[in-house]
Amino acid sequence: MPDTELVFVGDVCDRGYNSRDIYELIMNWQDEAPRQGSRVTFLLGNHEVMNAFGLRHYNTAEEYLSYDPASSTTGGRAHSEAFAEGGWLLEWLRRQHAAVRIGRVIFGHGDLPMVLSDWSVDEIDERVMGALRESRPRSGGNLPDPLFAPDKSILWCRQAQLERPTGYGRALAAFLAKNEASAYICGHTPAEEGLFRLGYHNRYLCIDTAMTFERQGIGRKSALLIENDRALAAYFEENDVVYREIDLNFELPVIGDLDV
């Protein structure tokens, strides 16, 4: 579709049985989109980083089969090779982003860490992606803070929803003001009720609706649509799609007006 921005907020792996197929589809869309006058952006998630560093706590035999349908054993090897140094998937991930601003909206995988409130989007993006490019995940050693520290990494932070520290709203407003943005959108923290979570004077929106946990009776498939300063949640219900307007704030913030 012409003049369209499609954003994925990360965590494709460990979230279903066909992650290889999904990665390859996103890659194909990235190649095709410019010919349609559009763009596809993939944001790094903490699960991509975990797999790159050999932390496979959430891997399953079913997912391995998507990397080699012959068997989960050879699929496991193909999966490891894809995420290893020189692997096709890790090399692609190193060319992606950790944070991006589109119009007046900033996208990241997790919550904005308060310690990064005076950073630009480009600085955060380079901090994370530089750490992934410079790391040799198979070599062992310490896990880099930009990729793993919950209070410093945009890939892991859950301060906005779970921790709610004093002053988070003000820190978020300062970050948005610095970047001339009106709202911050992320994933990472799943909502078992399957609904988007809006907060901080409608300047924060988490769109993780736990869609891969449907088989456990929680969550639902969803997507966010933004057009002409109007935001719609698209919730997929069996054979239907339910649209609900989201009162996302598209006005630039006034820091003094925000709560702490």
Q: Would the CA dihedral through 45, 48, 53, 58 be positive or negative?
A: positive
User: Could you tell me the CA-to-CA distances from 100 to 86, 125, 126, 250 in Å, in that order?
Assistant: 25, 7, 11, 16
Is-contact 234 222, C-beta < 8 A? Answer: yes
Report the CATH number at residue 159: 3.60.21.10
State how many domains the chain has: 1
pTM for the whole structure: 0.94
Range of the domain at 186: 5-135+143-257
Instruction: Determine the pLDDT at residue 255.
Output: 64
Is-contact 130 73, C-beta < 8 A? Answer: no
Instruction: Determine the pLDDT at residue 141.
Output: 66
Instruction: Determine the pLDDT at residue 218.
Output: 85
Rounded average pLDDT per 10-residue block, the chain, 260 residues: 90 88 97 95 97 91 90 90 95 98 97 98 98 80 90 97 91 96 97 94 96 80 95 93 96 66
